[in-house]
Amino acid sequence: MYNNNPTLENIPKKVDETKQGEVFFKEGEAAPTKKFYIESYGCQMNFSDSEIVASILQESGYGPTRNIEESDLILINTCSIREKAEDTVRKRLRIFDKVKAKRPGTLVGVLGCMAERLKAKFLDEEKLVDMVVGPDAYRDLPKLIASADEGHKGVNVFLSREETYADISPLRLDSNGVSAFISITRGCNNMCSFCVVPYTRGRERSRNSFSIVAEAVDLYNRGYKEVTLLGQNVDSYTWENPETKEKVSFAQLLVMVAEVHPDLRVRFSTSHPKDINDEVLFAIRDYENICNYIHLPVQSGNSRILEKMNRTYDREWYIQKIDRIHELLPDCAISSDIITGFCSETEEEHKDTLSMIEYANYTMSYMFFYSERPGTLAAKKYEDDIPLAVKKRRLVEIVDAQRDASMASNLKDSNKTFKVLIEGDSKRSDQDFKGRNSQNKMIIFPKKDGLKKGDYVHVKVTNMTSATLLGEIVDNKEA
Ligand code: SAH
Ligand code: SF4
Ligand code: F3S
């Protein structure tokens, strides 16, 4: 029903310079009568889902606002991955309580993974919440809002085996107009023992390949230069064409999107080490616009812990994967997710994770200490027995090791020239641009006349920190 979304062309443009983003509408277009405010937490998937929610709401007459004080509907798209993520949401709900007290009639909705995990309990625990909507139930939002308006609180946390929102054109929120996310799978069929995602997001399903390519084409036509294909485990993407019965694999999908246009960069996240295969690596090698960057979370560098985590690979197997990537794609950057202090982890086992950071040469990692999640296999089977102080100390050691690895990797880039996609002004100075190279490293460099966000330039690296490269524009690749 949103297939030919007539509002696609009328996407409200936000004013970058103002924090309280005003929303503008095309001349002659009636502003929506009601406004929604949405905050997103958690992974990129959640941010991408919020754009689907925004599109559904716009269809039913709600326009986005960044000013919570003027909103008729406040939505919070929540994450359950760690206890801290849930605490943050509860704190935000206290703030919304105050807004609601000033503006009676404002509705508050909880979306996403915490909604799915806590279901109707949310309504008892948090009195101000008017609706609780799980990740597969967003099409039901207009109905739930209408009944909440009449004073009936509502819950829909039905998890679907089919829903991919394939036909909905996301309304790009907070976009820089250059990069966008495209969701390609939903849910997860893995059962990592620490992880709540299979319970909050349900079974894995893959979205129609043609709708993915159509979204990429539409984005390119609107000036976007980079898409990131999103899923909890993108490499297990598989879609069967109902007419021809032909199956599209992730590697084939990558190629289909890469062929939209050579100037449209393609990224993807997250790759599971057990599922990424040579075909994917060949696609990266053969297409210049498929970025040389793989996010390949290891979680732990120790085989016994990996087994307890139910990751289905061991240290040696992971190392072989890293070796293969380096062999086929010498310029490919690899990043990771790491958990410290998982149940029964010893000092020796922790050291295996430290050494893995060095071995894999990660350009960066997302690092966490283990947080037990109710209902997961680990919560049922293993004791969360590593004291918090030890988990935190190990985390500091991991962070330090990663900082050293990032610095070493950045030092190797000294004097190299990279093709960079300009994403906009650097945070520190409007005299500088920021952009990324294929390896997903951020580079800051002085502006030059005639260049703008969305352009590609060649930048030679002249200096660096562990987090950022600094450089200057050069005329051509070889300079
Ligand atoms: N699908 C991705 C990541 C999903 S969640 C993957 O398989 O890698 C993002 C990251 O959060 C995970 O990679 C993991 O490092 C971390 N994480 C998940 N559950 C956690 C928990 N219970 N405690 C601490 N970190 C956790
Ligand atoms: Fe969680 Fe594992 Fe699935 Fe990633 S692959 S979402 S860590 S269960
Ligand atoms: Fe969090 Fe759900 Fe993503 S738990 S990490 S928002 S899938």
Residues with CB under 6 A from ligand 1: 81-82, 194-195, 197, 232-233, 270, 272, 297, 299, 337, 339, 368, 370-371, 373
Distance of CA 142 to the CA centre of its chain: 25
pLDDT at residue 328, rounded to an integer: 98
The stretch 99-106 carries a mean pLDDT of: 91
pLDDT of residue 23: 40
HEC assignment per residue over the chain: CCCCCCCHHHCCEECCCCCCCCEECCCCCCCCCEEEEEEECCCHHHHHHHHHHHHHHHHCCEEECCCHHHCCEEEEEECCCCHHHHHHHHHHHHHHHHHHHHCCCCEEEEEHHHHHHHCCHHHHHCCCCCEEECCCCHHHHHHHHHHHHCCCCEEECCCCCCCCCCCCCCCCCCCCCCEEEEECEECCCCCCCCCCHHHHHCCCEECCHHHHHHHHHHHHHCCCCEEEEECCCHHHCEEECCCCCCEEEHHHHHHHHHCCCCCCEEEEECCCCCCCCHHHHHHHHHCCCECCEEECCCECCCHHHHHHHCCCCCHHHHHHHHHHHHHHCCCCEEEEEEEECCCCCCHHHHHHHHHHHHHHCCCEEEEEECCCCCCCHHHHHCCCCCCHHHHHHHHHHHHHHHHHHHHHHHHHCCCCEEEEEEEEECCCCCCEEEEECCCCCEEEEECCCCCCCCCEEEEEEEEECCCCEEEEEECCCCC
User: pLDDT band at 127, cuts 50/70/90?
Assistant: confident
**Same structural domain, 313 and 243:** yes
Ligand nearest to the CA of 270: 1
Domain boundary among 411, 435, 452: 411
Distance (angstroms) between ligand 3 centre and the Cα of 77 equals 10
Kindly give the number of the ligand 1 atom that is closest to the alpha carbon of 371: 23
Q: Give pLDDT, residue 475.
A: 82
Q: Are 147 and 194 in the same domain?
A: no
Atom of ligand 2 nearest to the CA of 201: 6
Distance 310 CA to ligand 2 centre (A): 10
Q: Considering only CA atoms, which residue is closest to atom 4 of ligand 2?
A: 232
For a pLDDT cut of 70, what percent of the chain falls above it?
A: 93
Same domain, 426 and 384: no
Do residues 234 and 278 both lie within one domain? yes
pLDDT attached to residue 428: 92
Q: Does residue 171 lie in a domain region? A: no
**Which ligand has the nearest atom to the CA of 191?**
2
Nearest residue (by CA) to ligand 3, atom 7, is 197
pLDDT in tens, 173-214: 988 999 999 999 999 999 999 999 999 999 999 999 999 999
Tens-digit pLDDT profile for residues 305-335: 999 999 999 999 999 999 999 999 999 999 9
Residue 329, C-beta contacts closer than 8 angstroms, at least 6 positions apart: 281, 284, 285, 292
Both 318 and 368 in one domain: the answer is yes
Q: What is the pTM of this model?
A: 0.92
Residue 239, domain extent: 179-411
Q: Are residues 206 and 152 in the same domain?
A: no
Q: Tell me which of 394, 411, 428 is where a domain ends.
A: 411
440: pLDDT strictly greater than 90? yes
Q: 232 CA to middle of ligand 3, Å?
A: 9
Asked whether residue 479 carries a pLDDT value surpassing 70, the answer given is: no
Mean pLDDT of 37-44: 96
Q: Is residue 167 part of a domain?
A: no
Which numbered ligand comes closest to the C-alpha of 44? 3
Predicted pLDDT at 269: 97
Instruction: Decide if 243 is inside a domain.
Output: yes
Q: Which atom, in ligand 1's list, is nearest to the CA of 295? A: 8
Residue 17 scores a pLDDT above 80: no
Domains in the chain: how many in total?
A: 3
Pocket lining: 192 vs ligand 2, CB cutoff 6 Å? yes
Cβ pair 264, 220 in contact under 8 A: yes
Residue 193 near ligand 2, beta carbon < 6 Å: no
Q: What is the pLDDT of residues 386-403, one digit of tens each?
A: 999 999 999 999 999 999
Q: Residue 195 CA: which ligand 2 atom is closest?
A: 1
